[in-house]
Amino acid sequence: MASSNNAPLLGRCSGTAARHPQDAFHLPAQRTSVSEARRRAGTLLHEWGADQQVRDDVELVVSELFTNALRHTDSEKVGCELTVVGAHIRIEVTDQGGGPGACTPHVQPGSVDKECGRGLFLVGALSESWGTRPDDSGPGRVVWADLPYAPAAH
Q: For 53-68, how does the pLDDT look when each residue is reduced to its tens digit (9 = 90+)?
A: 999 999 999 999 999 9
Q: Which residues contact 138 (CB under 8 A, 6 or more apart)?
A: 96, 97
Mean pLDDT of 119-147: 92
Top mean pLDDT of 6-10, 48-52, 105-109 is at 48-52
- Report strand pairing: 88-94 vs 141-148: antiparallel
Can you tell me the distance from the alpha carbon of 72 to that of 68, in angstroms, rounded to the nearest whole number?
6
Q: What is the pLDDT of residue 31?
A: 95
**Which ranges constitute the DSSP H helices of 19-82?**
32-47, 52-72
Average pLDDT across the chain, whole number: 81
Confidence (pTM): 0.79
Q: What is the pLDDT of residue 113?
A: 45
With the C-alpha atoms ordered 66, 78, 10, 6, is the resulting torsion angle positive or negative?
positive
Q: Is the confidence at residue 133, as pLDDT, over 90?
A: yes
Q: Is the confidence at residue 154, as pLDDT, over 90?
A: no
Mean pLDDT of 36-40: 97
- Residue 153 vs residue 90, higher pLDDT: 90
Mean pLDDT of 118-144: 90
